[in-house]
Chains A and B, each alone.
Chain A
Amino acid sequence: MSAPAARPAAGDRFRRYALRNASLLLSYLVLTVMGLYYVGYAAGHGQLSVFSVTSVFNNTMPLLVAAIGQTMVVLTGGIDLSVGSIISLSNSLAAVHMQDSAGSVLAWSGLILLIGAAAGAANGALVAVGRIQPILVTLASLSVWAGVALFVLPQPGGAIPPGFTALLAGNAWQIVPASAVVLGALIVFWIVFRRTGLAVALYAVGNDERSARANGVPVAAAKIAAYTLSGLFAALAGLYLSAVTTSGDATTGAVYTLTSIAAVVLGGVSLFGGRGSATGSMAGAFVLTLIVNILFFANINPLLQEFFQGLVLILAMAASVLVNVVLGRTG
């Protein structure tokens, strides 16, 4: 018809990328700022050591892993409130059953992941086939799995094999936190996953479910997959929590439900679905943990921790909305 669109210059392409991923970049920015604050404070208190950095990573990992799973669900426009209970269940099962042998660790890890995935799949089926709103399905299943966790481990206790702890929460080559290695693997996972047909289906469903269906996207299957993955990652998060806390407690996971949502939101993922990246959620998880650490160094009453987390959550969301409005797009 007319002259071809000129191939945009590199600077132009970067600007376009920045515009399109404004919320994500904002979350990276926040993380960087927080990270610098933390390093500054920690160094100032003489607290910057392999141990403390490893602790930061270890404390973040359960939330981070859970947030990845939550991202899958939020991308489809849903929400998963049962994350906390599956973490509790995973932790309880590990504390009770995991024995101090490589075979037991492997077998039970696998079984626990499978159970998490199955719980997620049940959620997904109720959402996709039962056509019940996600917030309600996962609210109910939260109760169910919390009960199962309590059944497995009525009193806090149990034991986690030290080898397992060392594997996930220790240090590789003396200085690098094992968690950092796992984090690297998760980032690679996401980069690869992002390029699969399943990921495209998740984004499509979150963009516009009706349009996705009209284009032949298997909407129900995509949703079930999203929730299954969420359950799987929640179980993985529970395993991580077990390694870090070295014991079991059937109520320990509850707090992760809402904080995983907070991490996802801080990561620039849209609650309406169809936009965002799990790497942002990972950044969000770190931001939430760093807040706690920074407060500690700044000698602020640790009891005010939730206050700041809540405030940061709201401000980050407002900033994200503002950024999108300024860029001329609707949230």
Chain B
Amino acid sequence: MADQPQAAAGRPPRSIDPVRRSIALTFGAALLLFLIGGVIQPGFLRPTNVFSVLVVASFIGFVAAGQSLVILTGGIDLSVAWVINAGGVMLTSLAAGSDLSAAWVVPATLCMGLGVGLANSLGIVFLEVPPVVMTLGMNGIMQGLVLGLTNGFTSSSAKAYAPRVVSQAVNGVLPGGVPVDLLLWTAVAAALWVVLSRLTFGRWIYALGNNPVAAYLAGGHTRRITVLVYMLAGGFSAFTGIILAGYAGQATLGAGDPYLFASIAAVVIGGTSILGGRGHYFGTIAGAMILTVLTDVLTLMSIPEAGRSILYGLAILAALLIYGRQPEDV
């Protein structure tokens, strides 16, 4: 009967609340990890240290911003690693340390990222290549291009220093001790909040991820949304490459490699469904924090890399068991 909808025995209504709940849980876990760090090493909770941990987390956060959008639409981007590397190399080799050149090289590098994303999406939309394959192949293509053009990362251009203006942007600190990088992260977070919660584009992203057929039948231009989303992901990856080069002062071979799995893990731990349609960037932020703090705490506990890797994986599994489970087939 069409009475007031009541919850059937024992089953809570399926709602966004699980996402909010998992975001809250994730932030809570991040906080817990910070506290554990503080217990293990006095001084861990000093503002300067907390800030530096957050700066490292922001790197995951930047990549994961694009990855969040892509995963929300039901896709995935496995090309982030080498787009990051390409971004770093492009910055250092084209700008050759010159601040003036940075003015055009930075936008150009971002365009490179957008271009790679465009290529990814065209393959997915028009060639009907599944995202896993398309982005995987693109990763290889970028790897080959970067290694080939820099002679295996040994060319002088690859070894150039990042322009100082970029390094300062990443490593600089505002009065009060807040790193500029965190300001950037806040800006990114704000932008993503606007997109996902306030823009029509954001609604279509969720619709597409949740039910592509229904999105199409509701009049959605599903192709355009897909293209835009992958372009943004490519852009964010290139951006991260720039940031990493600025942070280290140089482009490093393989700088982007850990970020493939880290970005996916951050997105998923943050409560976004890998199948798309549910989740938010705030969760991803919390996920990035957890991954970074966890690594830090494990290092503090003098656990060797082997142990860190094991515990890292177990932690992700624990998070998945708590809220990554698919509902049972009714």
Contacts and interface: CB of A to CB of B under 8 A. Distances in A.
Interface of A: 79, 126, 130-133, 135-137, 139-151, 154, 209-210, 213, 258, 261-262, 265, 271-272, 301, 303-311, 313-314, 317-318, 321, 325, 331
B324 interface: yes
A67 B11 CA distance: 41
A11 to B, nearest CB: 31
A14 to B, nearest CB: 28
24 contacts: A79-B132, A130-B325, A131-B327, A133-B326, A135-B274, A136-B274, A139-B316, A140-B317, A142-B313, A144-B309, A144-B313, A144-B314, A147-B308, A150-B304, A150-B305, A150-B306, A303-B147, A304-B147, A304-B148, A305-B144, A308-B144, A310-B142, A314-B123, A314-B127
Contacts of A147: 305-313
Nearest to B273: A133
A258 B144 CA distance: 15
A317 B312 contact: no
Interface stretch (B33-41, B232-240, B260-268): B260-268
Interface of B: 76, 78, 123, 127-130, 132-134, 136-145, 147-148, 151-152, 261, 264-265, 268, 274-275, 304-314, 316-317, 320-321, 324-329
B268 A136 contact: yes
Nearest to B151: A303
Nearest to A301: B148
A124 to B, nearest CB: 14
Contacts of B325: 130-132
Nearest to A154: B306
A148 B326 contact: no
B309 A143 contact: yes
A277 B323 CA distance: 35
A317 B317 CA distance: 32
B148 A210 contact: no
Given A132-B326, A306-B144, A310-B139, A321 B134 contact: no
Contacts, number: 161
A258 B139 CA distance: 10
Contact of A306 (B147, B261, B313, B324): B147
Given A147-B307, A147-B312, A314-B134, A133 B147 contact: no
Contacts of A144: 309-310, 313-314, 317
Contact of B148 (A140, A150, A307): A307
Given A147-B312, A154-B306, A139 B136 contact: no
Contact of B307 (A131, A139, A151): A151
A219 B265 CA distance: 27
Given A303-B152, A309-B140, 12 more contacts: A130-B320, A131-B327, A139-B261, A140-B316, A144-B313, A145-B313, A151-B310, A303-B144, A304-B148, A305-B144, A314-B127, A318-B128
A143 B137 CA distance: 23
Contacts of A306: 140-141, 143-144, 147
Contacts of B138: 310, 314
B140 A307 contact: yes
A135 B78 CA distance: 12
A211 to B, nearest CB: 11
Contact of B317 (A126, A213, A305, A309): A126
Contacts of A126: 317, 320-321
Contact of B129 (A132, A135, A258, A314): A314
A188 B89 CA distance: 48
A307 B306 contact: no
A171 B310 CA distance: 39
Contact of B127 (A135, A142, A321): A321
Contacts of A154: 304, 306
A308 B310 CA distance: 34
State the 3 A-B residue pairs at the shortest beta-carbon distance, nearest first.
A307-B144, A310-B140, A147-B309
Contact of A136 (B132, B139, B306, B324): B324
A317 B274 contact: no
A313 to B, nearest CB: 4
A143 B123 contact: no
A327 to B, nearest CB: 14
A136 B313 contact: no
A137 B241 CA distance: 28
Residue of B123, B133, B274, B304 with most chain A CB atoms under a 10 A cut-off:
B133
B147 to A, nearest CB: 4
B324 A210 contact: no
B143 to A, nearest CB: 4
A143 B316 contact: yes
A314 B79 CA distance: 13
A331 B128 contact: yes
Contacts of A325: 128
Contacts of B76: 135
A146 B130 contact: no
Contacts of B78: 258
Contacts of A139: 261, 264-265, 316
Contacts of B317: 126, 137, 140-141, 144
B310 A307 contact: no
Contact of B132 (A142, A261, A305, A311): A261
Contacts of B129: 314, 317-318, 321
Q: Which of B137, B143, B311 has the most CB of A within 10 A?
A: B137
Nearest to A213: B329
B136 to A, nearest CB: 6
Residue of B123, B265, B307, B310 ringed by the most chain A CB atoms within 10 A: B310
Contacts of B123: 314, 318
A145 B265 CA distance: 17
Nearest to B305: A150
B286 to A, nearest CB: 17
B306 A313 contact: no
B154 to A, nearest CB: 10
A221 to B, nearest CB: 16
